[in-house]
Structure 1
Amino acid sequence: MTVKAAKSHPSRKRLVVFVVYPDIVLLDLVGPLQVFSHAPDPVMQGNGYECVVVSVSGGLIKTNTVVSIPSKPIDSVLDREIHTLIVVGGDGAIPGRRDAALISAINRLAEQAYRVCSVCSGALVLAAAGWLDGRRAVTHWDDFQMLTEEFPHVKTELDPIFIKDGNVWTSAGITAGIDMALAIVSEDLGRSSAMVVARSMVAQMVRSGGQSQFSPALVRQASDGAGRFEALHLWMADHLAAPLPVETLAAQAGMSARNFARAYANATGTTPAKAVEAMRIERAQDLLETTTKSLKQISTLCGFGDEDRMRRAFLRTLHVSPAEYRSNFQV
């Protein structure tokens, strides 16, 4: 299935249609909706998008919160030129992928859209409609197995926060929908317009789809579920420029080096040395994205010692050099 070619209407707002159904994740909808509702068009000197929320029959749609969302019937936009169609995610996507009326309606909308997208588990619905066959796609990590097993013709990927394959976009869980929406605004209206929205939302600007949906800091916290080494991790983050051998970390934790190494690996699933390297890479990524400091300065501030060690660590972990990473992600 292919999407239509875009038409240029510099004096007309681009129509963004959000498809909802019972039990959507509220943030899957309102995050991207907020982005498109306030994206300035430098040509029109006003908002660049018109947003409409639709469901099969219209009316109030239950979300995964106490808030229900009003929607218009899908038929109300069938005769309009759709610039971006977004299928929202949520637990309702599981029964939704087998809802013949919903799938049929999405196909009718997608056939008249320039761009087709999904947020989170909305990829299950898009896949059921056939729009992801032969394409790279991503979804929330919790739905990855279902998408992979039920739709073998989809080239499912686990890591990225969003993927653009032609004019079909898919995003990972929840807040990744905001990243995808910002990237779409950047493509449509320019990077400056996306930055205006990101700043107003106090959002990180602008995460590329190549970045991972798994935050290293969050992975550490999840692995150390009991929080045994939480204080140590905070201390490590404040002392990355200094040498951090296992003996130093053990002393900070009040343990012998041998007992510390064993206890740390049992609690976090990784070695102290790998944890230090991961934190240094994470800090270097932030500095590469947000500052103009030289690679030598960054390698020193992050404790790598020299550029070559930082480069080897990046290639081993991220499969790109620090210079390539900066080129891709610097704000």
Structure 2
Amino acid sequence: MIDQSFRAVQPRHAPELRVGIIPLPNFTMLAFAGFIDTLRLAADEGDRSRQVRCAWTVMSEHRDAVAASNGVMLQPPMALQPPLAFDYVIVVGGTLHDGERESAGLLSYLRTVDAAGVPLVGLCNGVFALARAGLMDGRYACLSWFHHQDYVTEFPGHRIVSDRMFLVDGKRITCPGGVGAIHLASWLIERHLGTGAAAKGLRIMLEDGARPGEAPQPAPLTVGVSNLEDVRVRRAVLAMERMLDQNVRLADLARMVGSTPRTLTRLFVAHLGITPAAVLKSMRVDRARRLLRNTQWSIAEIAADCGFCDASHLIRHFREVEGATPGAVRAAGGPHPASSG
């Protein structure tokens, strides 16, 4: 239900950017705080934090308290407000499993926002709420590679990308969260307040500069491509990491990044010195090594998690790369921290 009694306290000059923010149960604190603090730093001079040039309203259905994924409780000061009070409505999601689903009332409110022509933003996994409200049909969703498969499973006919900071598709904006939330907020600030206001917040947050929406999500450091310029290779490596426990075919990988198997192999060799298959093997062995040292999982469990056929398959490849068996590496690594007294 929308609180029709809302009357925003307007400063002498109305804010140039007005945002309504809805944190969902188990929302991620970094995405929520990073987005708001970027607005805060651009909204006023110095560190006074007044809502002068930007205004943000945190709200929930019936003003109910909301728990973040880290356990911190947030008490929104407002119930759901009329959509036209805002230039954007932001839905901040978080962990997906064993959490509350959005209420029918909240999904109805999101449809009302859409009907009013106000752009909707799915931050972190907030896009799941937009999709459950039927508002992502025919739209691209941008999620973390970590939750790519969750979205595909629940919404098999939807379009999805997991290789960029954020994505603008008409009046739908989606962002995987993390530091991407800061850069999305900065992008909105630049659109409404100008480049100087956007740059101010980034400098204070110790960010080197703005990153465009199409900037690739950070690649795994395990293969040393964090500064790799070729976007296709970076995206392919991200896809490998996302599907580490699956049967990854070169043809599928190439299609995902807009390439061909032959071209992608050539790019991997040119930029990394090894083939995609060798990179995948290295990533699997690297993950197996970390699991051996930091968990008490059995060799068979680790093999399954890392995409090996069975324990024997893991042992063979592990010995080829490491020159030692998994058992020897686990013994040399010392006891798991959780088991030490």
TM-score category of the 2 structures, normalised to the smaller one: 0.5 to 0.7
Specify which structure has the higher proportion of strand. Answer: 1
Match of 1:56 in 2: 61
Distance change in 2, residues 1:123/1:264 (3 Å) = closer
Q: Is the 8 A contact 2:27 2:67 kept in 1?
A: yes
Which residue type is aligned with residue 39 of structure 2?
A: F
Match of 1:290 in 2: none
CA distance in 1, matches of 2:188, 2:89: 12
Deviations 1:102-156 (A, max 9, x none): 2122223343353211111111111111222111221122221122232244311
Q: Is the 8 A contact 2:83 2:112 kept in 1?
A: no
Distance change in 2, residues 1:23/1:207 (3 Å) = same
Q: Is the 8 A contact 2:65 2:75 kept in 1?
A: yes
Distance change in 2, residues 1:169/1:190 (3 Å) = same
Match of 2:88 in 1: 84
Which residue type is aligned with residue 33 of structure 1?
A: I
CA distance in 2, matches of 1:70, 1:41: 24
Deviations 1:32-77 (A, max 9, x none): 01111221489xx9842111111112143211224221213434x2
CA distance in 2, matches of 1:94, 1:125: 15
Distance change in 2, residues 1:209/1:94 (3 Å) = farther
Distance change in 2, residues 1:269/1:150 (3 Å) = closer
Task: Please tell me whether residue 154 in structure 1 is matched to residue 171 in structure 2.
Answer: no
Task: Please tell me whether residue 102 in structure 1 is matched to residue 106 in structure 2.
Answer: yes
Which residue type is aligned with residue 11 of structure 1?
A: H
Answer with 32-41 or 87-96: which moved more.
87-96
**Unmatched 5+ stretches in structure 1:** 1-8, 224-262, 271-331
Match of 1:192 in 2: 196
Deviation at 1:219, TM superposition (A): 5.4
CA distance in 2, matches of 1:10, 1:155: 43
CA distance in 2, matches of 1:142, 1:195: 29
Match of 2:14 in 1: 12
Distance change in 2, residues 1:23/1:197 (3 Å) = same
Which residue type is aligned with residue 30 of structure 2?
A: L
| CA RMSD, Structure 1 to Structure 2 (Å) | 3.6
**Unmatched 5+ stretches in structure 2:** 1-10, 227-236, 238-277, 286-341
Match of 2:219 in 1: 215
CA distance in 2, matches of 1:52, 1:68: 17
Match of 2:333 in 1: none
Match of 2:42 among 35, 39, 43: 39
Which residue type is aligned with residue 51 of structure 1?
A: W
Q: Is the 8 A contact 1:57 1:74 kept in 2?
A: yes
CA distance in 2, matches of 1:55, 1:93: 21
1:1-331 equivalences in 2 (<5 Å): 11-13=13-15, 14-40=17-43, 47-75=52-80, 77-78=81-82, 80-91=84-95, 95=99, 97=101, 99-112=103-116, 114-215=118-219, 217=221, 220=224, 267-268=282-283
Which residue type is aligned with residue 115 of structure 1?
A: P
CA distance in 2, matches of 1:146, 1:164: 21
Query: Aligned pair count?
Result: 224
Deviation at 1:182, TM superposition (A): 1.0
Q: Is the 8 A contact 1:134 1:155 kept in 2?
A: yes
Q: Name the SS of the counterpart of 1:52 in structure 2.
A: strand
CA distance in 2, matches of 1:132, 1:264: 35
Shift >6 Å, 4+ stretches: none
Question: TM-score with structure 1 length normalisation?
Answer: 0.58
Which residue type is aligned with residue 126 of structure 2?
A: G
Deviation at 1:85, TM superposition (A): 0.7
CA distance in 1, matches of 2:219, 2:129: 26
CA distance in 2, matches of 1:60, 1:124: 20
CA distance in 2, matches of 1:89, 1:29: 9
Q: Is the 8 A contact 1:24 1:92 kept in 2?
A: no
